[in-house]
Amino acid sequence: MIQMINTRLMTIDDIEQVLDVENNSFALPWSENAFRKEMKENDLALYVVIEENGRVVGYAGLWVIGHEGHITNVAVHPQFRKKGYGDLLIDRLLCEGEKKGINAYTLEVRVSNRPAQKLYEKYGFKSVGIRPKYYEDNKEDAMIMWK
């Protein structure tokens, strides 16, 4: 079957499908309300989604803080991983960030999360330090990365 793949900016109508991705991706998922706030109230928020045959199967977002992009989340639904969609999401996010004048990006990632670290490294992110016990659930350290 031919797959139709599309990336675009996220809207409030995507929240239901994004929540499905979110709840299947994170130990501490964001709530529906958190996404609503991002879409409706946070002028700094920039989010993109990826669709396969019209279904939202991944999303990524950042906050535009001056010329810096603070990446909040990147996730692909488990059933749709390892198909290059994480790559496409980062590509689109960085492209949208560039339009906003962003010239540096940062994020935190669990020290145990090699798949995500490898994805970010592929795009030039480098580890610059650790935030000890950053994650509430298991007190895991966060790796701080910058590009």
Ligand X SMILES: CC(C)(COP(=O)(O)OP(=O)(O)OC[C@H]1O[C@@H](n2cnc3c(N)ncnc32)[C@H](O)[C@@H]1OP(=O)(O)O)[C@@H](O)C(=O)NCCC(=O)NCCS
> Which are the catalytic amino acids?
108, 120
Which C-beta is closer to ligand X: that of 115 or that of 129?
115
**Whole-number Å distance between alpha carbons of 65 and 55:** 30
**Residue 62 makes contact with ligand X by CB under 6 A:** no
* Beta carbon nearer to ligand X, 39 or 123: 123
**Min separation Cβ 48 and ligand X, Å:** 13
Dump the DSSP string for 11-45.
-GGGHHHHHHHHHTT-SSPPPHHHHHHHHHT-TTE
Q: Contacting ligand X (CB under 6 A), which of 39, 52, 83, 106?
A: 83
Give CA–CA dist 4/80, Å, rounded: 13
Residue in the block written with tokens 């992009």: 69
**Beta carbons of 55 and 17 less than 8 angstroms apart:** yes
Q: Which of residues 7-46 bind ligand X (CB under 6 A)?
A: 25
Half-sphere exposure of 62 (CA within 13 A, CB side): 24
Contact status: 142 vs ligand X (CB under 6 A): no
> Is 124 a residue that touches ligand X (CB under 6 A)?
no
Stretch that binds ligand X, among 4-12, 95-103, 117-125, 132-140 (CB under 6 A): 117-125
Residue ranges binding ligand X (CB under 6 A): 25, 74-76, 81-87, 109, 113-116, 118-119, 122
